[in-house]
């Protein structure tokens, strides 16, 4: 057989062998990266699963996201009656939970905290006040009335957080913080003005102006007056409403 023909046949054999070998190789699919997609867009997709307690805070640095993640951990720990878990996310634990002899009372309190807190919705907290030391989440005020009891009220839900050496801690929360009054012979305009007087918080520090001025008679002996027009009356970096809860 001609030598040139043998060379051609040999080359063809190698090509065929390579073809079948390559058919058995699995190539990893390529991932398309959109350079126009900002890191913030990816961060917003990171969510905290409230059923998993040992998670880090969301990658988003948005104060509302950070604070809400802490609050959700607090609720889960209360639901599971995990005192040490609660202790890890609050500024200070309730005195009733410090005494092992009062475990039943403590668990009752934890159950109430979960019951009240789990009704709150993140989207309702339209007011977010924050700096490097504190975060306050607050809903807008709403009005309630009970004609049978001749009662009128103005309330908001509010949650306080403070920064500690180990991270953000839940300081306090109230599903219905505000004031109420009897109507009596007063007009509706007088009632509305009275409710605003009881509940207004002009400096947005979480404390009602009425309270900051120590107007309620029952607080005269223990109240520390602060300026309702200035968030941080003593200039120590903590807002008046936050500092009052830390005492």
pLDDT in tens, 168-196: 999 999 999 999 999 888 999 999 999 99
The structure tokens 């004609």 sit at 147
pLDDT in tens, 116-162: 999 999 999 999 999 999 999 999 999 999 878 789 999 999 999 99
pTM of the prediction? 0.76
How much is the average pLDDT of 10-32?
A: 41
Tell me if residue 90 falls in helix, strand or coil.
Answer: strand
Among residues 123, 128, 148, which one has the least CA distance to residue 63?
Answer: 128
Does residue 97 have a pLDDT over 50?
yes
Does residue 111 have a pLDDT over 90?
yes
The alpha carbon dihedral of 224, 227, 231, 234 has a sign of: negative
Give dist(CA 183, CA 229) in Å, integer.
29
Residue 156 vs residue 58, higher pLDDT: 156
* Burial of 121 from C-beta contacts in 10 A (0-12 / 13-18 / 19+): exposed
Domains of the chain: 51-199 (3.10.450), 200-247 (no CATH)
Does residue 26 have a pLDDT over 50?
no
Give dist(CA 84, CA 106) in Å, integer.
12
């Amino acid at each position: 057989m001609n030598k040139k023909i043998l060379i051609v046949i040999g080359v063809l054999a190698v090509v065929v062998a390579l073809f079948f070998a390559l058919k058995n190789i699995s190539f990893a699919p390529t991932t398309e990266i959109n350079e126009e997609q900002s890191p913030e867009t990816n961060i917003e997709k990171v969510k905290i699963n409230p059923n998993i307690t040992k998670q880090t805070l969301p990658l988003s640095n948005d104060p509302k996201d950070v604070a809400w993640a802490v609050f959700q951990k607090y609720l889960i720990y209360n639901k599971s009656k995990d005192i040490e878990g609660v202790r890890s996310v609050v500024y200070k634990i309730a005195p009733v939970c410090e005494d092992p002899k009062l475990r039943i009372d403590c668990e009752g309190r934890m159950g109430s905290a979960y019951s009240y807190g789990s009704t709150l919705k993140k989207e309702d907290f339209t007011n977010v006040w924050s700096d490097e030391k504190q975060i306050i989440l607050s809903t807008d005020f709403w009005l309630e009335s009970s004609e049978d009891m001749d009662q009128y009220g103005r309330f908001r839900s509010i949650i306080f957080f403070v920064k500690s050496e180990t991270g953000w801690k839940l300081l306090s929360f109230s599903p219905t913080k505000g004031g109420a009054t009897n109507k009596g012979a007063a007009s509706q305009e007088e009632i509305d003005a009275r409710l605003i007087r009881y509940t207004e918080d002009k400096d947005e520090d979480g404390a009602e102006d009425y309270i900051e001025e120590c107007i309620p008679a029952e607080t005269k002996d223990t109240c520390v007056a602060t300026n309702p027009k200035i968030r941080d009356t003593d200039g120590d970096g903590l807002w008046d409403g936050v500092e009052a809860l830390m005492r």
